[in-house]
Amino acid sequence: ERLLAVCPNPAWRLLVCLARYGGLRVPSESHALTWADIDWQRKRIRVPSVKTARHPGHEAREIPLFPELEKPLLEAWEACPEGEPTSSTASGPPTLGRTCEG
């Protein structure tokens, strides 16, 4: 909680939460994540794995969309203009919400 409190913006909080609560590898898995990987209805996240993608059947894994991840993901989602793609910029970590913040 102390680390989340000092994160400078929602993009950094999302990155910390993805690593801490989702177990995503930073930067390979967290940076490869897109909005299409989030299944809000099933409360699941498809995590593309660059590290294991060369092995058939290991291109991605699925994790639960834990409550600790849902709030920062929703904050990032709400900050995005409709149809906004995700990509990296110089203002924070290249995660889902990054392009949408500014």
- DSSP letters spanning the chain: -HHHHT-SSHHHHHHHHHHHTT---TTHHHHH--GGGEETTTTEEEEE-TTTTTSTT-SEEEEE--HHHHHHHHHHHHHSPTTPPP---TTS-SSTTTGGG-
The pLDDT of residue 82 is 60
The pLDDT of residue 38 is 93
| pTM: predicted TM-score of the whole model, two decimal places | 0.75
Tell me the average pLDDT of the chain. 79
The pLDDT of residue 69 is 95
71-86: average pLDDT: 72
pLDDT band for 19, please (50, 70, 90 cuts).
very high
Q: For the purposes of burial, counting CB atoms within 10 Å of the CB of 87, is it exposed (0-12), middle (13-18) or buried (19 or more)?
A: exposed
Percent of the chain predicted with pLDDT > 90: 34
The pLDDT of residue 7 is 86
